[in-house]
Amino acid sequence: MNDIIDLSIWQLVLAFVFVMVLMIIVKIKGISREKEILISSIRMTLQLILTGYLLVYLFNNPSPVYTIFVLLAMESFAIHNIIKRAKGKINKSLRKIIGLSMVVGTVSCLLFFLFVIVQISPWYNPQYFIPIAGMLIGNSMTGISLGVNRLVDGMQANKHLIEGSLMLGATPKMASKEVVDNAFDSAILPTINSMVGMGIVFLPGMMTGQILSGTSPITAIEYQIAIMLGILGSVSLTVILFVQLGYKTFFNHKDQLQI
């Protein structure tokens, strides 16, 4: 494989030309997004720089304590972000379901992926543990975020239909089945669409990064296939846990709809 081409600080600065072009376009079009574009670009850059130095330290000083701490931090941020991005106010019970679904779904899939598929040693090896955990948690966060909004909107939009079904003798599960199914479909669809176009329409970021770093394309493809299947499993499990437990928070102990 060819030697890696290191980017200098000035080459990275030149990449911000794309940001400047976008800001000029939105300015000409009268779209008030210049501030958001600039802040997000600067924030992304600073976050990645700090993350890079943190990963260098973690890789040079592997420790189960550090690895678990990073995992807990990623889970906490993901759960907070899901709740923050939810449209409208969500009750305390639904927040607990979000946290439970994220932790159980992502951690179980992460452990299976690392111990059974990759078989890393030691188990807390940050070089594998942290990047894979980030991909599983990040995609699951996106999936549940979509599921939360669709479930809440569906329950509110179909309130009268659900109440009508309950009066006719349907259980809460039966009455809300269509809403739950739609929420699951909306949450899982982006992952499926991404898998369909992968390798033909676009090359995924993980695979591209490995190839640019000098890894054999075949090895990069093997890892990409494995991680995408892991992401599919993680997103599916977290979302199915959420929708199957989440809809119950909209009903009281008498099976009455509470919205």
Write out pLDDT tens, residues 153-173.
Answer: 999 999 999 999 999 889 999
Q: Are residues 137 and 87 in the same domain?
A: yes
pLDDT for res 31: 83
Please list, in sequence order, all residues whose beta carbon lies within 8 angstroms of the beta carbon of residue 66, skipping any fewer than 6 positions away.
58, 124, 126
Query: Confidence class of residue 205 from pLDDT cuts 50, 70 and 90?
Result: confident
Q: Are residues 96 and 218 in the same domain?
A: yes
Asked if residue 223 has pLDDT above 80, the reply is yes
pLDDT for res 258: 85
Length of the chain: 259
pLDDT for res 112: 95
Asked if residue 255 has pLDDT above 80, the reply is yes
Q: Are residues 12 and 91 in the same domain?
A: no
Cβ neighbours around 97 below 10 Å, total: 23
Query: Confidence class of residue 30 from pLDDT cuts 50, 70 and 90?
Result: confident
Asked if residue 229 has pLDDT above 90, the reply is yes
Q: Are residues 45 and 103 in the same domain?
A: no
Q: How far apart are CA 222 and CA 218, in angstroms?
A: 6
Please list, in sequence order, all residues whose beta carbon lies within 8 angstroms of the beta carbon of residue 85, skipping any fewer than 6 positions away.
145
Q: Per the structure, how many domains does the chain have?
A: 2
Asked if residue 203 has pLDDT above 80, the reply is no
Query: Confidence class of residue 60 from pLDDT cuts 50, 70 and 90?
Result: very high
Amino acid present at 150 = R
pLDDT for res 32: 84
Name the percent of the chain lying above pLDDT 90: 66
Asked if residue 206 has pLDDT above 80, the reply is no
Q: How far apart are CA 163 and CA 175, in angstroms?
A: 8
Q: How far apart are CA 10 and CA 146, in angstroms?
A: 38
Q: Does the residue 203 lie in any domain? A: yes
> Can you give the residue range of the structural domain that contains 103?
63-250
Domain boundary among 44, 61, 78: 61
Amino acid present at 193 = N
Q: Does the residue 37 lie in any domain? A: yes
Q: Are residues 6 and 133 in the same domain?
A: no
Q: Are residues 74 and 40 in the same domain?
A: no
Q: How far apart are CA 180 and CA 149, in angstroms?
A: 11
Q: Does the residue 175 lie in any domain? A: yes
pLDDT for res 104: 96
- Whole-number mean pLDDT of the chain? 90
Q: Are residues 231 and 144 in the same domain?
A: yes
Q: Are residues 38 and 83 in the same domain?
A: no
Asked if residue 1 has pLDDT above 80, the reply is no
Q: How far apart are CA 207 and CA 216, in angstroms?
A: 10
Q: Are residues 207 and 153 in the same domain?
A: yes
Query: Confidence class of residue 111 from pLDDT cuts 50, 70 and 90?
Result: very high
Q: Does the residue 107 lie in any domain? A: yes
Q: Which of 192, 200, 197, 51 is nearest to 130 (CA)?
A: 51
Q: Are residues 26 and 72 in the same domain?
A: no
pTM for this prediction: 0.86
pLDDT for res 212: 74
Q: How far apart are CA 212 and CA 107, in angstroms?
A: 29
Q: Are residues 22 and 80 in the same domain?
A: no
Residue 14 CB-density burial (10 A; 0-12 exposed, 13-18 middle, 19+ buried): exposed
Asked if residue 145 has pLDDT above 80, the reply is yes
Q: Are 147 and 187 in contact (CB under 8 A)?
A: yes
Query: Confidence class of residue 2 from pLDDT cuts 50, 70 and 90?
Result: low
Q: Are residues 43 and 164 in the same domain?
A: no
